[in-house]
Amino acid sequence: MAVTNKKLFGKYGFDANNASITNVADPTNAQDVATKSYSQNASNLATGTVPTARLASGTASSSTYLRGDSTWQSLPATTTITGTDQQILANSTYSSAQSGSVTLSFPSTVALTNLTISGDLTVNGTTTNLNSTNLVVEDKNIVIADVASPTNTTADGGGITLKGATDKTFNWYSATGAWTSSEHLSVASGKNILLNGSTSGTITLSPAATAGTNTITLPATTGTVVTTGDSGTVTSTMIADGTIVDADINASASIAVSKLAASTISGKTLGNNLDTLTLAVSGTGLSGSATYNGSAAATFTVTSNATSANTASTIVARDASGNFTAGTITADLSGNATTATTATNSTNVAVTNDTTTSSYAPLS
């Protein structure tokens, strides 16, 4: 319907005389007037740019932001965010379960009094400083050197450094494939250092009962530590030549010849029998013989048939009084015979001057 009352129109436009125009349709053409309902519907806004002066007062620039009081405000050097829960939202509703994410851009230095993060925290930077008295971590496993492609090279030198008069470090090095401590390791009383886990055959190093009384020195080589409690573990390769001297061997060791290294005695290799030595006697009245080759002990005993009796083919032995009995004794005698009563086949008998009346020299 067209308006035909010309009194309502002035020279320069329509004058409703402070009255409302109702029952107006939504605009369809470019020059149609928009109703209140149509203009407040965001889906009906066409594309374009709203002048900043129409949004707020002040000067808009890359270093200002639009406040809720319709003013442009410069960004402060330090940003302070205060408020209660749900005052910074990722969507338009206030609910306990929010979706989406909020990106906050801060200047180089941001001071936060208390910060609680319910989700994950990712820090991208070169150095992360934690200035706190105590660091409490609920997780029981701490992962370090977690790079995109971890290798022994990226792990080399990783560890923990405790600052002091000098750095106290505990680091892993690729060259040795081992953790290295710059300081001593002290084990509490009753505790041990376990090697090879806790299974059978575990080697346990126990601390000394009194400091300085026990010393364990391990050579700079690969091998097996042998203790006095071991049995059959020492081999000849563990003993350097010339280190065992005579004083080191117990007199009752009774080492078998077969266990000794080869040597030579009289041209024979040690451990082999010597040439047989035969011992014998010769002559009347003697007997006895023996052989010896070193394989066992041997005794050589000489026996004689000596007697003081008048026995043929025996050796003459004096009795307890120094006498012996004989048949015929053939000999050249010189001297005096004081008790002889008969001289048989005697020659060159001389009778000495004797004053007794019974002195005579019977000859036969």
Q: Which residues have CB under 8 Å from 291's CB, separation 6+?
A: 276, 277, 278, 279, 298
312, pLDDT greater than 80: yes
pLDDT value of position 352: 60
129-133, 139-143, 328-332: the lowest-pLDDT one: 328-332
In the structure, what pLDDT confidence band is assigned to residue 267 with cuts at 50, 70 and 90? low
Separation of alpha carbons 154 and 173, rounded Å? 10
In the structure, what pLDDT confidence band is assigned to residue 247 with cuts at 50, 70 and 90? confident
Cα distance from N-terminal residue to C-terminal residue, the chain: 215
Nearest to 314 by CA among 283, 288, 281: 283
Are 21 and 14 in contact, with CB atoms under 8 Å apart?
Answer: no
pLDDT value of position 160: 95
Separation of alpha carbons 7 and 19, rounded Å? 14
Nearest to 302 by CA among 323, 279, 275: 279
13-22, 213-222, 309-318: the lowest-pLDDT one: 213-222
In the structure, what pLDDT confidence band is assigned to residue 25 with cuts at 50, 70 and 90? confident
Are 321 and 301 in contact, with CB atoms under 8 Å apart?
Answer: no
pLDDT value of position 91: 43
The 3-class SS string of 294-352 reads: CCCCCCCCCEECCECCCCCCCCECCCCCCCCCCCCCCCCCCCCCCCCCCECCCCCCCCC
In the structure, what pLDDT confidence band is assigned to residue 152 with cuts at 50, 70 and 90? very high
pLDDT value of position 154: 96
203, pLDDT greater than 80: no
Q: Give the tokens for residue 258.
A: 């077969």
pLDDT in tens, 273-282: 778 889 888 8
The residues pairing with 73 across neighbouring beta strands, listed in sequence order, are: 65
Mean pLDDT of 352-361: 55
* Average pLDDT taken over every residue of the chain: 74
pLDDT value of position 98: 43
Nearest to 25 by CA among 14, 16, 10, 35: 35
pLDDT value of position 45: 62
In the chain, at which residue ranges do the beta strands (DSSP E only) sit?
Answer: 64-66, 72-74, 159-162, 168-173, 178-181, 193-195, 203-205, 264-265, 268-269, 277-280, 286-287, 289-292, 303-304
Separation of alpha carbons 231 and 54, rounded Å? 99
Top pLDDT among 198 and 306 is at: 306
